[in-house]
């Protein structure tokens, strides 16, 4: 038995060390090895590997002579801050991380275990796509991964970390997960590479220009987080996991907070100008009301006219959706609607209460928006809010006009509590536009149209847009001192913590596409 154990030890060392030249080449590319990445992701010494000794059984094209242990993917589980996390990591040193039948079977198994155990799944992606030598068997392996991604959706958190190339059908697995992280310069995602694009369209472009981290973080919206190096990226994955529950049957972990729940936010009185056409940075509002000013913004560089962030309030995790007046005046457009809708759905799936900070002039007008489908895209956000059963708090900071007011979690679509600041203006449209429509003939017939217009705008605002109009009609629960926003929201969330909302029996909804 001692001899057998010694043999096992040697085999394990071989499997863990890998090829020295391949390791050197990986480091030369500015990338860590799969095992080094797992060590950074998980708590020290917590990783338990599964199927380390697995080898492929394919033949032909020289494969029978090369059967390395692990078959190019490391699978197992460990802990992040003491909580179980399942992980698989492509090992680019072996077959370039390409997926074959055995490789895929290992991933299928760890995904099934994550679903059964009710724990998050993190994939560390660095692979060259399907293993061409294994033909359709490799492609079928991707199908099994996609099926499990879909099965796990809304059941356990799924996080994809792009640390190298991800091309072709392989890119659809990250797209099916909840969050995508990328590292600048070393990771790329695309369906067809630069060579194919050049051959088909004649467009010449680099790998990073086509599918690099900044492209997907700022233009396509595929990537939620982009970082300059792997160490920072994996540290942020750990931080995100600390704010998510293990599965859809649990709530996110509460962290004791030294920031008083009743802390007054005096700076809010001067931070937000009462004039609706003056911009300000909504991020500073989020910082004021969040515990210790800390938050994690999702899709920070895409659709920047809306903010989506995870934060804690009195130690409890909340999802914050807020218009950003500094960008496009905070209007809702196609991209902002999609971004916020997906975030709301994620929060609802994982029992994260929603806090919506409203300062919206409406939906972005224009031919491009209408032809691009702003109706159906805006309906995605409306559907997400209407379908959400978690506690929902709306705070109207300033203006809230038209359909955009309704969509931003108004009382009429199910917000549990709606609060407003004394400078709020809730109306079909701004006073100037409303007066031009309602009093068009009167203004046109006046001897001094501008003077009459100004007077009618003033009258309209005083009659229908004063700060207490909505509160008088029960559409706002209370008008509050802005400095009390943090304490008012925390009080409301505490009351709603045990909220249970029954939904009609159905197989699933049919949300706008």
Residues annotated as catalytic (active site), given as ranges: 168-169, 403-404
Residue 245, classified by CB atoms within 10 Å of its CB into exposed (0-12), middle (13-18) or buried (19+), is buried
In sequence order, the β-bridge partners of residue 122 are: 87, 159
Where on the phi/psi map is residue 171: left (φ > 0), alpha (ψ -120 to 50), or beta?
Answer: alpha
Instruction: List the one residue out of 140, 84, 144, 148 whose CA is nearest residue 117.
Output: 84
Instruction: List the one residue out of 162, 181, 178 whose CA is nearest residue 170.
Output: 162
Helix, strand, coil percentages, rounded to 5, for the chain: 45, 20, 35
Please give the Cα distance from 343 to 321 (Å, whole number). 8
Q: Are 359 and 282 in contact (CB under 8 A)?
A: yes
Q: Are 319 and 354 in contact (CB under 8 A)?
A: yes
In sequence order, the β-bridge partners of residue 83 are: 80
Q: Which residues contact 405 (CB under 8 A, 6 or more apart)?
A: 358, 360, 426
Handedness of CA 356, 362, 368, 370 (dihedral sign): positive
- Alpha-carbon radius of gyration of the chain: 26
Please give the Cα distance from 230 to 27 (Å, whole number). 12
Instruction: List the one residue out of 196, 200, 154, 195 whose CA is nearest residue 177.
Output: 154
Q: Which residues contact 227 (CB under 8 A, 6 or more apart)?
A: 181, 182, 183, 184, 213, 233, 236
């Amino acid at each position: 038995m001692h001899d057998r154990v010694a043999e096992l030890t040697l085999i394990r060392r071989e499997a863990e060390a890998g090829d020295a030249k391949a390791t050197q080449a990986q480091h030369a590319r500015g990338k860590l090895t799969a095992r080094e990445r797992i060590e950074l992701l998980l708590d020290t010494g917590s990783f338990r590997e599964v199927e380390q000794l697995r080898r492929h059984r394919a033949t032909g094209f020289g494969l029978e002579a090369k059967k390395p242990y692990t078959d190019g993917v490391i699978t197992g589980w460990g802990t992040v801050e003491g909580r179980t996390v399942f992980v698989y990591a492509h090992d680019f040193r072996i077959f370039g991380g390409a997926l074959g039948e055995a490789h895929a079977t290992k991933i299928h198994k760890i995904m099934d275990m994550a679903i059964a155990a009710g724990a998050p799944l993190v994939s560390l992606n660095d692979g060259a796509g399907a293993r061409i030598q294994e033909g359709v068997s490799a492609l079928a392996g991707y199908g099994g991964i996609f099926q499990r991604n879909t099965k796990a959706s809304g059941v356990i958190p799924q996080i994809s970390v792009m640390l190298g190339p991800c091309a072709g059908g392989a890119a659809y697995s990250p797209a099916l997960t909840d969050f995508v992280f990328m590292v600048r310069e070393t990771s790329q995602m695309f369906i067809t590479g630069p060579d194919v694009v050049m051959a088909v369209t004649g467009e010449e472009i680099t790998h990073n220009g086509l599918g690099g981290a900044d492209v997907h973080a700022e233009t396509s919206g595929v990537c939620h987080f982009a970082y300059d190096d792997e160490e920072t990226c994996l540290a942020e994955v750990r931080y995100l996991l600390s704010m998510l529950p293990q599965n859809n049957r649990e709530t996110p972990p509460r962290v004791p907070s030294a920031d008083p729940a009743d802390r007054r936010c005096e700076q809010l009185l001067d931070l937000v100008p009462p004039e609706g056409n003056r911009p300000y940075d909504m991020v500073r509002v989020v910082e004021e009301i969040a515990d210790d000013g800390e938050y994690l913004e999702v899709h920070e560089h895409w659709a920047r006219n809306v903010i989506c962030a995870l934060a804690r309030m009195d130690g409890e995790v909340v999802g914050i959706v807020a218009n950003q007046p500094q960008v496009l005046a905070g209007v809702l457009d196609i991209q902002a609607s999609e971004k916020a809708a997906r975030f709301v759905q994620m929060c609802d799936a994982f029992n994260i209460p929603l806090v919506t900070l409203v300062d919206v002039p409406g939906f972005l007008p224009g031919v491009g928006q209408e032809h691009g489908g702003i109706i159906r895209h805006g309906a995605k956000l409306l559907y997400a809010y209407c379908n959400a059963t978690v506690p929902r708090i709306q705070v109207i900071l300033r203006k809230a006009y038209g359909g955009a007011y309704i969509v931003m979690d108004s009382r009429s679509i199910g917000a549990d509590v709606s609060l407003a600041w004394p400078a709020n203006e809730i109306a079909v449209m701004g006073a100037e536009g409303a007066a031009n429509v309602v009093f068009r003939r009167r203004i046109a017939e006046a001897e001094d149209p501008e003077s009459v217009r100004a007077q009618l705008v003033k009258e309209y605002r005083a009659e229908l847009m004063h700060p207490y109009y909505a509160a008088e009609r029960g559409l706002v629960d209370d008008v509050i001192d802005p400095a009390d926003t943090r304490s008012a929201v925390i009080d409301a969330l505490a009351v709603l913590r045990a909220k249970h909302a029954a939904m009609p029996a159905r197989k699933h909804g049919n949300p706008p596409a």
